[in-house]
């Protein structure tokens, strides 16, 4: 009788909220929702600008996508909407194809979000969330650090009051910044730096205060009072009447559409890893499980909702999700209350935002993104594993070198980390074993142990036996059969072999035949069931089975000792 409701809850995760909803939970959700909304409003405007959209598009991204993301996601504290990293990726992917802010640019950016959403939704529905684990944490960390630098760099023109539009090429943008440094707009610089200092001070001194909202309101009021715009300061300006509607942009030409696919895959991967990082942290603190496939569905549907609303691609915000958790959000009602508050504020306060300086929005981005730059994390990766350190370092350098096409940086890291993984798979650890004083068989070279039998050698092979390392297996067996004089049996300690493919099976066949040709015997102990299952599907198993079913080294050595002894000793 309980199965249909459970199946329905899998399709509609928000039905699970019913068990947690009560007066106390609603009170906590109300506080959390309002707190998140107060931070979302200025961030939405800032991150829309970062993505190359008009500022008010960020408000659209904080409405319907936020609702869809929480209704169909698995972690109720996640705050879906505009985020800095997704905005930067969007701008980097589309800027080479169209002028920022143009109709063509907006259509391509919305299409990019649509493609990324379809990818996430498809992976979630097919329960293939593991694909996104191909991007290792060191590569992701390096990309975040490099992207944080580039995002901060991109905000310097607004902070300095540089004239003209953003240059599509990094070198041209650097020249524009250099010119602005020589002759900055002093009022703009003072407004931006003042806002940045105030944001940092409020966050450290009064962390529970919505510092972003306080600073934005104060700077907007100051801008209006001092007629900042008349003095040459750049402001948000007149916002058009907010008329959110559902419609998809016309699809671009086929070559542009296919050209967006790699960028869409990177966007889907990076934005989901950003969401997953928040979900994992929240799950650890609350003890509530989360499901990566369900979260893929939720985040994918949120991106589709953003595309339907004609706005920038969305993701889950780390800072706003942490704020929701800190304020005690219990269910997804907190996100619904936050989205409703954004809607009310957007329609009632839209025109008041006319005087908001763009330098203040730049300060909001610098404050939020600057905290993502953690070079110590890259040094830690290098200390732990040089291979991971190499992949992380290459990702960091490539992201900066390929800018503004920063998606190429993460693709570089992805390909290099996969190449290093294959390289490590080609060189699994092998060791000859001897009997340790504790009764186990261990690396005889490391512990200075003798061979367990004068005519038998035990070889441990640590890794799956497949096409990548089959040659390594054959080299190891040939090394083992000559490891001491008159070796009659080579025993493979196979507990570390957790898989075997056709190439690996062929390597076993050839070595068994090679040993037989030299009057020697190949034997196995500790074979796992999944390996035996593969071997049994081939005639080889009938040949090796009599000496391949031993549970451990001791049993095998005792059973094989008569076979290993020379005929004259029998």
Decide if 234 contacts 371 (C-beta within 8 A). no
What pLDDT does 3 receive? 45
- Residue 238 within any structural domain of the chain: yes
- Residue 321 within any structural domain of the chain: yes
- Residue 1 within any structural domain of the chain: no
In this model, does residue 350 exceed pLDDT 70? no
Q: Which residues of 102-138 are buried (b: 16+ CB within 10 A; e: fewer)?
A: eeebbbbbbbbbbbbbbbbbebbeeeebeebeebbeb
Q: Which of 365, 388, 419 delimits the end of a domain? A: 419
- Give the number of C-alpha atoms closer than 13 A to the C-alpha of residue 15, restricted to the C-beta side: 9
- Residue 543 within any structural domain of the chain: yes
Shared domain check, 292 and 260: yes
**Confidence grade of residue 169 (pLDDT, cut at 50, 70, 90):** low
Shared domain check, 197 and 52: yes
Decide if 475 contacts 510 (C-beta within 8 A). no
Q: Is the peptide bond before 404 cis (omega within 30 degrees of 0)?
A: yes
d(CA 197, CA 253): 46
The pLDDT of 223-231, averaged and rounded, is: 88
**CATH code of the domain covering residue 509:** 3.30.750.24
**Confidence grade of residue 208 (pLDDT, cut at 50, 70, 90):** confident
Range of the domain at 88: 23-419
Shared domain check, 401 and 537: no
Tell me whether strands 456-462 and 489-493 are parallel, antiparallel or unpaired. parallel
- Residue 123 within any structural domain of the chain: yes
In this model, does residue 570 exceed pLDDT 70? no
Shared domain check, 383 and 307: yes
The pLDDT of 335-358, averaged and rounded, is: 85
Shared domain check, 54 and 141: yes
- Residue 8 within any structural domain of the chain: no
What pLDDT does 4 receive? 47
Shared domain check, 47 and 191: yes
- Residue 387 within any structural domain of the chain: yes
**Confidence grade of residue 285 (pLDDT, cut at 50, 70, 90):** confident
Tell me whether strands 489-493 and 521-525 are parallel, antiparallel or unpaired. parallel
Closest CA to 337 of 129, 36, 103: 36
What pLDDT does 476 receive? 95
Shared domain check, 218 and 351: yes
* Number of domains, the chain: 2
Decide if 217 contacts 194 (C-beta within 8 A). no
pLDDT tens, position by position, 37-63: 888 888 898 899 889 898 889 999 999
| Largest Cα–Cα separation, the chain | 107
What pLDDT does 322 receive? 85
Shared domain check, 435 and 407: no
Query: Quick one: tokens of 117?
Result: 């959403």
Shared domain check, 443 and 321: no
Q: Which of 369, 385, 419 delimits the end of a domain? A: 419
d(CA 458, CA 430): 11
Q: Which of 378, 397, 419 delimits the end of a domain? A: 419
Mean pLDDT of the chain: 87
Concatenating the DSSP letter of every residue in 87-145 gives: HHHHHHHHTTTS-TTSHHHHHHHHHHHHHHHHHHHHHHHTT-GGGGGGS-HHHHHHHHH
Shared domain check, 472 and 351: no
Shared domain check, 449 and 415: no
- Residue 17 within any structural domain of the chain: no
Shared domain check, 393 and 444: no
What pLDDT does 1 receive? 38
């Amino acid at each position: 009788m309980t199965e249909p409701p459970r199946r329905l809850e899998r399709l509609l995760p928000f039905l699970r909220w019913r068990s947690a909803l009560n007066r106390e939970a609603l009170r906590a959700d109300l506080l959390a929702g309002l707190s998140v909304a107060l931070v979302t409003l200025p961030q939405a405007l800032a991150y829309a600008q970062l993505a190359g959209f008009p500022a008010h598009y960020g408000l659209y991204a904080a409405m319907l996508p936020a609702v869809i993301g929480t209704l169909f996601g698995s972690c109720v504290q996640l705050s879906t909407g505009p985020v800095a990293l997704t905005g930067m990726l969007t701008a980097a992917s589309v800027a080479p194809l169209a002028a920022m802010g143009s109709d063509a640019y907006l259509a391509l950016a919305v299409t990019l979000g649509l493609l990324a959403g379809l990818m996430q939704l498809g992976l979630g529905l097919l329960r293939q969330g593991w694909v996104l684990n191909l991007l290792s944490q060191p590569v992701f960390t390096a990309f975040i650090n490099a992207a944080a630098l580039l995002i901060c760099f991109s905000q310097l023109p607004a902070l300095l009051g540089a004239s003209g539009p953003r240059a599509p090429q990094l070198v041209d943008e650097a020249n524009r910044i250099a010119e602005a440094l020589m002759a900055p707009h002093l009022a703009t610089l003072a407004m931006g730096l003042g806002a940045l200092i105030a944001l940092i001070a409020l966050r450290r001194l009064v962390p529970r205060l919505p510092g972003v909202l306080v600073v934005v309101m104060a700077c907007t009021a100051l801008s209006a009072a001092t007629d900042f715009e008349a003095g040459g300061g750049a402001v948000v300006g007149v916002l058009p009447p907010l008329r959110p509607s559902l419609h998809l942009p016309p699809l671009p030409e086929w070559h542009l559409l296919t050209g967006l696919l790699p960028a869409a895959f990177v966007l889907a991967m990076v934005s989901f890893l950003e969401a997953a990082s928040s979900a994992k942290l929240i799950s650890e603190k609350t003890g509530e499980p989360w499901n990566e496939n369900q979260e893929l569905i939720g985040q994918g549907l949120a991106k589709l909702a953003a595309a339907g609303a004609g706005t920038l691609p969305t993701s889950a915000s780390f800072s706003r999700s942490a704020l929701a958790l800190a304020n005690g959000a219990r269910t997804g009602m907190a996100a619904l209350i936050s989205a409703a508050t954004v809607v009310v504020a957007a329609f009632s306060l839209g025109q008041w935002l006319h005087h908001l300086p763009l330098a203040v929005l730049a300060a909001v981005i610098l404050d939020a993104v600057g905290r993502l730059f953690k070079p110590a994390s890259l040094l830690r990766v290098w200390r732990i594993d040089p291979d991971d350190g190499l992949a992380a370092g290459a990702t960091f350098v490539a992201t900066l070198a390929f800018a503004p096409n920063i998606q190429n940086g993460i693709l570089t890291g992805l390909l290099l980390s996969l190449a290093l993984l294959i390289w490590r798979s080609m060189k699994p650890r092998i060791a000859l074993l001897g009997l340790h004083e504790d009764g186990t068989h261990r690396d005889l070279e490391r512990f200075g142990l003798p061979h367990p039998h004068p005519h038998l050698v035990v070889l441990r092979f640590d890794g799956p036996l497949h096409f990548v390392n089959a040659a390594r297996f054959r080299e190891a067996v040939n090394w083992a059969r000559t490891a001491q004089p008159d070796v009659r049996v080579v025993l493979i300690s196979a507990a570390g072999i957790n898989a075997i493919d056709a190439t690996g099976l062929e390597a076993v066949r050839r070595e068994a035949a090679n040993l037989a040709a030299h009057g020697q015997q190949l034997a196995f102990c500790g074979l796992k069931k999944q390996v035996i299952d593969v071997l049994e599907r081939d005639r080889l198993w009938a040949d090796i089975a009599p000496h391949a079913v031993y549970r451990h080294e001791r049993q095998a050595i005792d059973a094989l000792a008569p076979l290993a002894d020379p005929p004259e000793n029998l």
